[in-house]
A and B are shown apart, each in its own frame.
Chain A
Amino acid sequence: MTKEQLGALFSLMLQYVVPTMKIFCFTLLWSIPLGMIVALLKMCGFKPISWLTNIYILIMRGTPLLLQLIVAQHSVPYLLKWDKCPSFIHSLLDGVDIRSSGYTFTMLLIAFVLNYAAYFAEIFRGGIEAIPKGQYEAASALGFSRLQTFFRIILPQVIKRVVPASSNEIITLVKDTSLASAIPYMEIMYIAKKQVPTYASLTPLFMAGAFYFIFATVLTLVFGYIEKKLNYYK
């Protein structure tokens, strides 16, 4: 490949960084709080809720993310065709244009968020359960309300405990965004694959690889720094 070709390819691929980042950022933005809610639901004393949450987590962790992405993408047309579909869902979905890029992105995001929330939920649950009972008892004896106890005493300690496992999950997400190319959604992986025959070269794939590598490495360094910062207490 000539220098000009490389430059053209690079600037082309650069345009697809944004869609990749969009999946990454929005998935984190929604799946982390949702994961916390799911974790609390799973620990809920009311058994049916905890069982339902458990089934959701089992399905999300037990089936491929790629499959979930494809199912989400096909869900709306099939729901509309289904004759037993509740009317409120029907009217909600009726105006949806399944060919628009907005639809593709929304369904993609829903699948990513539901999948990652399940993983985060298990991490958070582990973190919450690792907090000694004495912390709750001390808070209660000092008169803290349940909400105050959770947000002031428990959550800050949970965050420190879950940073290592969460950073693993977040770095996996960087690479998992490439699954969106199969839908297809136009992000880095998609364009790299498409450019291989055009240039008769593997360079587009290596460029994409370099992007994921740099992104993941930067995150590794950032999380290493955060872990160190949180090490002010044991």
Chain B
Amino acid sequence: MSMLDVKNLSKSFGDLKVLKDTTFNVEKGEVVAVIGPSGSGKSTLLRCINQLERADGGVINVCGTDMLIKDQKGRTVYADAKTLRNIRLKTGLVFQNFNLFPHMTVLRNITEAPVCVLKEERSKAQEKAMQLLKKMGLESKDKSYPCELSGGQQQRVSIARALALNPEILFFDEPTSALDPELTGEILKVIKELAKDGMTMVIVTHEMAFARDVADKVIFMENGSIVEMGAPEQLFGDNASDRVKQFLTRFNS
């Protein structure tokens, strides 16, 4: 079953074409890593799918629901507000800079959306939040404020926050880029565990070894286009295109 279908997605900022005819899909339980040089449109791709940017053209279907379609006249139209909201609740997004709510405790950060948006009972939401914190190895930090945590801990809280809404598909926008090198490991470990649980994920990352290790499919983007897409063995192997090889050598050196 396809969890995400993106066809011919395009997006410009002024004259700059950030996404050109981007097409890919994600199957249930699949882990997709998106790699490529800075400014290649990886983050914009994620932001368009998560409704933080409005796409200019193309088709997006999330979990079987149309989000962006072409109508009979060929115009690009978004679904109505209610549908967009429902889609939003099926997707989770983890940011590079965590974006935790600084005025709330860790527990409150995780329970706020389930309580306010999904109208869950607070006690139930808290119970679930504590389970998530335990999974993240942070069960003792529920009463802490984000500013009291390390970057890696904050990122784990933000993953728990996204998981609290039971998303069908989870997106990561360079989840380790704002972290010290020695803290990236703890995040990668959490993502690996989620992959083992069968979570569908799309991860924009600069961690090549990690992408190779955890991804079922790797997408290499450059200048707003998908240059190559395939299994990690293919992209990281000898048969990869020269451009991908060139990009990877720079990372490995």
A positions within 8 Å CB-CB of B:
132, 134-135, 137-138, 140-144, 148, 152-153, 156-157, 160, 232-234
A153 to B101, CA, bound (A): 7
B85: nearest residue on chain A (CB-CB)? A143
Q: Are A141 and B116 closer than 8 Å at their CB atoms?
A: no
Within the assembled complex, what's the spacing in Å between the Cα atoms of A135 and B102?
A: 9
Q: Is the CB of A142 within 8 A of B161?
A: yes
Contact of A234 among B93, B147, B161 (CB under 8 A): B147
Please determine whether A144 and B116 come into contact, CB atoms closer than 8 angstroms.
Answer: yes
Whether A137 pairs with B113 at a CB distance below 8 angstroms is: no
Digitize B167-190: 1 where CB-to-A-CB distance is under 8 Å, 0 elsewhere. 000000000000000000000000
CB of A143 within 8 A of CB of B117, answer yes
Number of A-B contacts (CB under 8 A): 58
* Closest chain A residue to B113, Cβ basis: A142
Decide yes or no: A138 and B103 within 8 Å by CB, A143-B165, A232-B145 being known contacts: no
Chain A residues contacting B116 (CB-CB under 8 Å) are: 144, 148, 152
Q: Contact at B113–A143, with CB atoms within 8 Å?
A: yes
* Total number of B residues with any Cβ neighbor in A under 8 Å: 28
- Cβ–Cβ contact B50 & A234, under 8 A: no
Tell me whether A143 and B102 are in contact in the complex, defined as CB-CB below 8 angstroms, given that A134-B95, A152-B116, A232-B145 are known contacts: no
Is B112 engaged at the interface, CB distance under 8 Å to the other chain?
yes
Query: Within the assembled complex, what's the spacing in Å between the Cα atoms of A135 and B91?
Result: 17
* Interfacial chain B residues near A233, Cβ < 8 Å: 102-103, 145-147
Q: Check A141 against B93 for contact (C-beta < 8 Å).
A: yes
Alpha-carbon distance between A134 and B85 when the two chains are bound, in angstroms: 19
Contact of B97 among A134, A142, A156, A234 (CB under 8 A): A134
Nearest B residue to A156, CB-CB: B103
